[in-house]
C-alpha cells in the first residue's frame, strides 16, 4: 500500500513557499504521495505544478477538482501541464462535488451528475491521451480539439465515486477512485468489489483505490474523536457522504476516523490494505504542531 497525506483542507494558511517546503519534507520522509484538496483558495493543479517542479520523487494528485466549473479541454491542459512540471508524477482526482456547491453557489444544474461525469470522462480520456476529439453530447460539443504538452505522458484519472452508478462508469472509463467519508466495511463490501467488477468487465487492469481518512496518533482517542466530530460536522450532512456513513452504520465522520496509538493505527491501516485499498490518504486531524509531526513520523515509519 502506498502512503500519502493531504494538504489544503486543514484550514492552515500557507504561502506557495510553505507548500513547497512541506512537500519537500514529505518527500524526505519517503511518503509516496501528496494529495491536495481543491478548496476556495489555491488552485490545486496549479499549486501541484509548482510543487512538482521543486520535488523529485513524491507522487502528486488532486483530491479532488470539481468538474462542472472547468471545461474538459481546459482541465486536460492543466493536468498535462502539471504532469510535465512533475516529470509525470501527477494524478488527476476529479468529482462532481455537491449540489449545494455546484447548483446553489455556482449556478450550474446538478440534475444529472452521473450522466455529466460519463460525458466528461468520454471527453477527458482522449484529450489526456493527445487524441483529437469529435464529440456531440448533452452538455459538450467539441470538434477537432487535441491537447499536446511537451514532456507530458498520459495522466491517471481518479473519480470520487461512491454510488453504484458512478463506481461502474469509473471502472469503465477511469483508472480508479478516490474516496472520503467511506468506512472500512463500506470499502470492503461496496466500493472495492463494485469498482473492480466494472473494471474487469471493461477489460481494464485492477483499479487504483485511494482511501482518505481522518487520522491522528494519540493516547486520548475519545478526546480526539470529539474534536474531529466538531471539525468535520459538515461532511456528515452532505447527502453523498451521509449515504456512505449510513451504509457503514455510523453516526458521523468521527466514527470512521482513525484515532489511537501506534498499534491501533497500524492495525487499521493494515485492514484497509487487506480490503484492497491501494493508496492510503491521511488527512491528519490534529490541533497542534507536535501531534501533527508525531502522526506524520508514524506514517513515514510504515514505509
pLDDT for res 44? 97
CB 295 within 8 A of CB 18: no
Closest CA to 2 of 153, 285, 208, 162: 208
- Segments of the chain with pLDDT less than 70: none
pLDDT tens track for 179-195: 999 999 999 999 999 99
pLDDT tens track for 252-271: 999 999 999 999 999 999 99
Report how far residue 65's alpha carbon sits from residue 35's, in angstroms, rounded to the nearest whole number. Answer: 11
Query: Domains of the chain, with CATH numbers?
Result: 2-223+257-301 (3.20.20.30)
pTM above 0.85, yes or no: yes
pLDDT for res 40? 87
Residue 131: CB atoms within 10 A of its CB come to 12
Report how far residue 60's alpha carbon sits from residue 91's, in angstroms, rounded to the nearest whole number. Answer: 6
207 phi, psi to nearest 5 deg: -75, 155
Cell of 196: 473492480
CB contact burial 257-292 (16+ within 10 A = b; e otherwise): bbbbeeeebeebbeebeebbbbbbbbbbbbeeeebb
Q: What is the chain's alpha carbon radius of gyration, rounded to the nearest angstrom?
A: 19
CB 217 within 8 A of CB 295: yes
Amino acid at each position: 500500500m502506498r502512503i500519502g497525506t493531504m494538504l489544503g483542507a486543514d484550514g492552515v494558511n500557507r504561502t506557495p513557499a510553505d507548500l513547497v517546503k512541506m512537500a519537500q519534507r514529505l518527500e524526505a520522509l519517503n511518503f509516496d504521495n501528496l494529495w491536495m484538496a481543491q478548496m476556495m483558495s489555491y488552485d490545486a493543479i496549479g499549486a501541484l505544478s509548482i510543487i512538482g517542479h521543486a520535488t523529485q520523487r513524491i507522487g502528486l494528485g488532486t483530491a479532488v477538482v470539481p468538474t462542472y466549473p472547468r471545461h474538459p479541454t481546459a482541465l486536460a491542459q492543466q493536468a498535462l501541464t502539471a504532469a510535465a512540471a512533475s516529470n509525470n508524477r501527477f494524478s488527476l482526482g476529479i468529482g462532481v462535488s455537491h449540489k449545494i456547491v455546484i447548483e446553489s453557489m455556482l449556478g450550474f444544474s446538478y440534475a444529472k451528475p452521473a450522466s455529466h461525469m460519463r460525458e466528461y470522462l468520454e471527453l477527458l480520456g482522449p484529450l489526456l491521451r493527445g487524441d483529437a476529439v469529435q464529440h456531440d453530447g448533452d452538455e459538450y460539443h467539441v470538434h477537432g480539439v487535441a491537447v499536446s504538452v511537451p514532456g507530458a505522458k498520459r495522466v491517471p484519472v481518479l473519480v470520487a465515486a461512491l454510488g453504484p452508478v458512478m463506481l461502474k462508469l469509473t471502472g469503465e472509463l477511469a483508472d480508479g477512485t478516490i474516496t472520503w467519508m467511506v468506512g472500512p466495511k463500506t470499502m470492503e463490501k461496496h466500493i472495492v468489489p463494485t469498482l473492480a467488477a466494472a473494471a474487469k468487465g471493461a477489460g481494464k487492469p485492477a483499479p487504483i483505490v485511494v482511501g482518505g481518512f481522518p487520522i491522528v496518533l494519540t493516547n486520548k482517542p475519545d478526546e480526539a474523536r470529539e474534536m474531529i466530530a466538531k471539525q468535520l460536522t459538515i461532511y456528515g450532512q452532505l447527502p453523498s457522504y451521509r449515504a456512505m456513513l449510513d451504509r457503514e452504520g455510523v453516526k458521523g465522520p468521527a466514527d470512521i476516523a482513525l484515532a489511537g496509538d501506534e498499534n491501533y493505527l497500524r492495525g487499521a491501516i493494515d485492514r484497509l490494505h487487506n480490503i484492497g485499498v491501494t493508496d492510503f490518504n491521511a488527512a491528519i486531524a490534529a490541533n497542534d504542531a507536535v501531534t501533527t509531526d508525531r502522526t506524520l513520523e508514524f506514517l513515514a515509519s510504515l514505509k
